[in-house]
Amino acid sequence: MTPIDPAGTVAVVGAGTMGQGIAQVALAAGHAVRLYDAAPGRAEEAARAIAARLGRLVDKGRLDAAGRDEALARLQPAARLAELADSALVIEAIVEQLDTKQKLFAELEPVVPDDCLLATNTSSLSVTAVAGGLRLPGRFVGLHFFNPAPLLPLVEVVRGFATDPEAADRARATVAAWGKTPVACADTPGFIVNRLARPFYAEAFRVHEEGGADPATIDAVLRECGGFRMGPFELTDLIGQDVNNAVTRSVYEAFFHDPRFTPSLAQQRLVEAGLLGRKSGRGWFPYEEGADRPEPATAAPCEPPAEIGWHARPPRVCAPLREMIEEAGIKVVRDRAPYESEWYITLPDGAALTLTGGEAATPGNGGPHIYFDLALDYRTCTRIALAPSETASARDVQAAVGLFQVLGKSVSVIGDVPGLIVARTVAMLVDFAEDAAGRGVASREDIDTAMRLGVNYPRGPLEWGREIGLTHVRSMLWGLAQEYPGGRYDPSLSLRRRAAVEESLL
Ligand SMILES: NC(=O)c1ccc[n+]([C@@H]2O[C@H](COP(=O)([O-])OP(=O)(O)OC[C@H]3O[C@@H](n4cnc5c(N)ncnc54)[C@H](O)[C@@H]3O)[C@@H](O)[C@H]2O)c1
């Protein structure tokens, strides 16, 4: 598909944070750019801000002075919408209000040529609704850039209900020609990234609300065991609790209160208290001058067991553990009990240590249990969380802690929450992604690309599901659903279908 003419004019309406970033991207791609804002003087102000940013790129040696001057010569603030008449593409980045955006496009449509692509940068409104009143809604798309637009590569290209496939393809080709990574998606609440990322926040907040662990520990486990760049508590403090909560609430409303998208009461209270994160000096964590950042709960050194029992075959993800344990000098005794199908390790006093299956360790089936969390990679992770059942003794817990410590891990012993921290989060991320793929929200490839680039996940959720095994993800969700009835953890139809196919191939 061909992009818009590189010599064509791109208009950006709304010269705030996003409008300035998008204008800079279009300038870097060689377009003439018109910048319009309803607030008098704002477009000129934005042009000066863009000039200053390009100046900083020159200072850093990333752009030469001639390149900056040539780009700035192509940037023109516009005082009236009528000045956008020769645009090949208009990208709107004004205030996030449906009626304001609809009104703008109603005024804009008669001004621009019929073959001009029209785009909204909305992050939470329905693209279909924004285009609702247009004479030619077929040329209307969502182009969802991420902040800061000049730096972040991902752009979600959203097809509204009435968008012509040709217009969506042209928009996709255009942002690709601009050096961005476009992903195509249907007009669904939250598009790909904001829809599929909800469990990353929701599960962590829920573990905290249930007293399973404190924010610093949950963040550390998701980073050091799950491989996420940042934990949900520190990340939402950076984004702003009000902003993150508003996205969650808008997706929840748009899905007609589907329990899978339920917002967090604890986060809602933070917002009500004005504890918005870094920008207000306090959120989940304090940021005032001299404030100490809380440390994650980490177990003191414990003696590792000299010998452990090994029952049945571990799930694929846990396969490296046996070799790691033997390399650490611990004797592994294989138990051939024929009736055992579930994999577990027996500790010296008889407690069973195993990967969480989604359910809580208490009451457990037969004797003391200690569950450990899912890791992105058991060899390279530096922390692990353990959840002992009420029936596990202090000696059982010490043996489990010592075992993981001798493998080089910091250990966080947390409360007996179903699915611990990483496992429940990843099981839900995989399910949300499988559900979206099954419903045709986006291609499987674009879903994984969006989550890796849009929120920096260490692995695309669909790829992650394949690595864990979808039958295993399904069992974890069944375990969680048994502990929390109400539908939130019911595995989606798409995940169950694919798990059944996987099972039939075993
Ligand atoms: N900030 C982000 O991280 C981010 C990320 C992706 C998408 N978005 C979306 O981008 C859009 C803009 O967000 P922002 O953060 O840049 O907002 P902003 O407040 O920084 O800028 C909005 C600008 O639009 C102008 N404006 C308001 N009504 C207008 C109208 N009728 N006509 C012309 N100009 C008008 C305002 O004067 C202001 O300069 C929103 O739809 C938002 O949801 C924001």
Domain boundary among 148, 169, 187: 187
Same domain, 154 and 22: yes
Q: Amino acid letter at 491?
A: P
Same domain, 19 and 137: yes
pLDDT at 505 over 90: no
pLDDT in tens, 45-101: 999 999 999 999 999 999 999 999 999 999 999 999 999 999 999 999 999 999 999
Same domain, 272 and 234: yes
pLDDT at 193 over 80: yes
Tokens standing for residue 326:
């033997």
Q: How far is the CA of 94 from the centre of ligand 1 (A)?
A: 3
Total number of residues shown for the chain = 506
Q: How confident is the model at residue 338 (pLDDT cuts 50, 70, 90)?
A: low
- 87, 124, 194, 412: the catalytic one is 194
Distances (CA, A) of 329 to 186, 341, 403, 405: 53, 26, 11, 13
Give CA–CA dist 164/159, Å, rounded. Answer: 8
The reply to whether 299 falls in a domain is no
Q: Which of 103, 101, 50, 107 is nearest to 83 (CA)?
A: 107
Return the CATH number at 169. Answer: 3.40.50.720
Which is the closest atom of ligand 1 to the Cα of 46?
A: 39
Q: How confident is the model at residue 367 (pLDDT cuts 50, 70, 90)?
A: confident
pLDDT at 153 over 70: yes
Same domain, 330 and 457: no
Say what the pLDDT of residue 363 is: 73
Q: How confident is the model at residue 149 (pLDDT cuts 50, 70, 90)?
A: very high
Of 12, 13, 17, best ligand 1 pocket probe by most atoms within 8 Å of the beta carbon = 17
Domain boundary among 413, 443, 470: 413
Q: How far is the CA of 388 from the centre of ligand 1 (A)?
A: 49
Q: How confident is the model at residue 134 (pLDDT cuts 50, 70, 90)?
A: very high
Residue 260 belongs to what domain range?
195-280
Q: Which of 21, 319, 400, 41 is nearest to 33 (CA)?
A: 21
pLDDT at 486 over 90: yes
Give CA–CA dist 500/474, Å, rounded. Answer: 10
Same domain, 336 and 272: no
Asked whether the beta carbons of 127 and 96 are under 8 A apart, the reply is: no
Q: What is the mean pLDDT of residues 251-262?
A: 96
Say what the pLDDT of residue 114 is: 97
Q: How far is the CA of 152 from the centre of ligand 1 (A)?
A: 18
Is any atom of ligand 1 closer than 6 Å to the C-beta of 100?
yes
Tokens standing for residue 476:
């974890």
How high is the mean pLDDT of the chain?
96
Same domain, 133 and 102: yes
Q: How confident is the model at residue 335 (pLDDT cuts 50, 70, 90)?
A: confident
| Catalytic residue check, 123 | yes
Query: Token pair 């309406």 is at which residue?
Result: 13
pLDDT at 364 over 70: no
Is any atom of ligand 1 closer than 6 Å to the C-beta of 45?
no
The number of distinct structural domains making up the chain is 4
Is any atom of ligand 1 closer than 6 Å to the C-beta of 382?
no
Q: Which of 164, 144, 141, 163 is nearest to 153 (CA)?
A: 144
pLDDT at 337 over 90: no
Q: What is the mean pLDDT of residues 237-261?
A: 96
Say what the pLDDT of residue 1 is: 79
Give CA–CA dist 41/43, Å, rounded. Answer: 6
The reply to whether 420 falls in a domain is no
Query: What distance separates the 2 farthest-apart alpha carbons in the chain?
Result: 81
Give CA–CA dist 127/141, Å, rounded. Answer: 7
- 31, 87, 124, 156: the catalytic one is 156
Question: What is the DSSP pairing of strand 140-145 with strand 154-159?
Answer: antiparallel
Is any atom of ligand 1 closer than 6 Å to the C-beta of 13?
yes
Give CA–CA dist 277/445, Å, rounded. Answer: 34
The reply to whether 261 falls in a domain is yes
Is any atom of ligand 1 closer than 6 Å to the C-beta of 108?
no
The reply to whether 286 falls in a domain is no
| Catalytic residue check, 244 | no
What is the dihedral angle through the alpha carbons of 159, 445, 436, 145, rounded to the nearest 10 degrees? Answer: -50
Q: Amino acid letter at 156?
A: E
Same domain, 408 and 496: no
Q: How confident is the model at residue 185 (pLDDT cuts 50, 70, 90)?
A: very high
Say what the pLDDT of residue 336 is: 67
Q: How far is the CA of 17 from the centre of ligand 1 (A)?
A: 7
Same domain, 88 and 156: yes
Return the CATH number at 247. Answer: 1.10.1040.50
Same domain, 19 and 105: yes
Residue having the nearest C-alpha atom to atom 26 of ligand 1:
94
Q: Which of 242, 244, 378, 375 is nearest to 323 (CA)?
A: 378
Same domain, 140 and 201: no
DSSP 362-376: SS-SSS-EEEE---S
What is the dihedral angle through the alpha carbons of 43, 49, 51, 57, rounded to the nearest 10 degrees? Answer: -150
* Rg, C-alpha atoms of the chain: 26
Q: pTM for this structure?
A: 0.95
The reply to whether 300 falls in a domain is no
Q: What is the DSSP letter of 38?
A: S
Same domain, 246 and 329: no
Is any atom of ligand 1 closer than 6 Å to the C-beta of 95?
yes
Asked whether the beta carbons of 142 and 128 are under 8 A apart, the reply is: no
| Beta strands in 27-123, from DSSP E residues, in sequence order | 32-36, 75-78, 87-92, 117-120
By the 10 Å C-beta count (0-12 exposed, 13-18 middle, 19+ buried), 416 is classed as buried
Say what the pLDDT of residue 334 is: 87
Q: What is the mean pLDDT of residues 30-36?
A: 98
Q: How far is the CA of 266 from the centre of ligand 1 (A)?
A: 28
Distances (CA, A) of 252 to 54, 199, 211, 262, 263: 39, 12, 24, 6, 7
pLDDT at 365 over 80: no
Residue having the nearest C-alpha atom to atom 32 of ligand 1:
38
pLDDT in tens, 217-242: 999 999 999 999 999 999 999 999 99
pLDDT at 495 over 70: yes
Query: Token pair 């279908």 is at which residue?
Result: 497
Is any atom of ligand 1 closer than 6 Å to the C-beta of 119?
no
